[in-house]
Amino acid sequence: MAMLLELNNVEVVYSDVILVLKGINLAVDGRQIVALLGANGAGKTTTLKAVSGLLHSEDGKVTAGVIQFQGVPIHHEEPQNLVRRGLVQVMEGRRILPHMTVEQNLLVGGKVLKSRQERLDALDKAYGYFPQLAKMRQRVSGYLSGGEQQMLVIGRALMARPRLILLDEPSLGLAPMLVTEIFELVERLRQQEGIAFLVVEQNANMALGIADHGYVMENGRIVLAGTGRELRDNEDIKEFYLGMSLSGHGKSFKDVKHYKRRKRWLG
């Protein structure tokens, strides 16, 4: 049986000249949480946009390789068709509709559902996972806190009854307690709804703590891969992220002392 999501030797080019992804191989199986890690500019968000069809709006395109969702090639599909298939991206920066209420934002996510009753059922489910949003359903969403907005955009994705959610930097700008709450929610949605997640995240420790599998990107390539536990315990990962947090700059894996003797990880 095919994986839920597979990227095979995928290359992405912007403006017909800038090669951003250089032969990416990545997979997400049903009900899995997969973490995609790396420094800024490594190609993580481009990978998500290649999957969700959002590259077209940025003059980017898949120029080589194949992206398959549920065994069907999707790299030429329009984003709205992919949402109907059950593939939804939650973009970095909490892209709410700020002048609309919380409930109006959620209902936008349910537009792909066929009937009013389906949308109401989905709304009840979203409020079940986000009781805080239920209490402020008529509040204008632009006045929500950062954590509440993050809950709102995940709730809006849930309205489409997804099989796979692409989650881009969910912890960005949030307090540690809220980050923990968001990741606990991701785990609940996987367990209770059977939703798979591909999560781009700078907080490696948090992401790998719940991930079944993880990939590390650098300069448009996968340079390390393994289970969440293997990567969390990997000395290269610890040194790379420790170095990044102390200096404020991402170290290259080529500068990590274990890199050469850990070549078996290279993708």
pLDDT, one tens digit per residue, over 96-118 is: 888 999 999 999 999 998 899 99
Question: Do the domain assignments include residue 155?
Answer: no
| pLDDT of 238 | 74
Sheet hosting strand 196-200, strand order edge to edge: 87-90, 164-168, 196-200, 33-37, 213-218, 221-227
What domain range includes position 250? Answer: 5-94+171-265
Alpha-carbon gap, residue 227 to 216, rounded angstroms: 11
| pLDDT of 1 | 67
Instruction: Give me the CATH number covering residue 22.
Output: 3.40.50.300
CA geometry: angle at 228 spanning 254 and 55, to 5°? 70
Question: Do the domain assignments include residue 14?
Answer: yes
| pLDDT of 97 | 87
pTM for this one?
0.88
3-state secondary structure of 43: coil
Domain total in the chain: 1
Question: Do the domain assignments include residue 226?
Answer: yes
| pLDDT of 138 | 95
Evaluate whether 22 touches 11 at the Cβ level (below 8 Å).
yes
Question: Do the domain assignments include residue 102?
Answer: no
Task: Give every residue of the chain whose pLDDT is below 50, as ranges.
Answer: 242-250, 257-267
Question: Do the domain assignments include residue 149?
Answer: no
| pLDDT of 266 | 42
229-244 residue pLDDT tens? 999 888 877 776 644 4
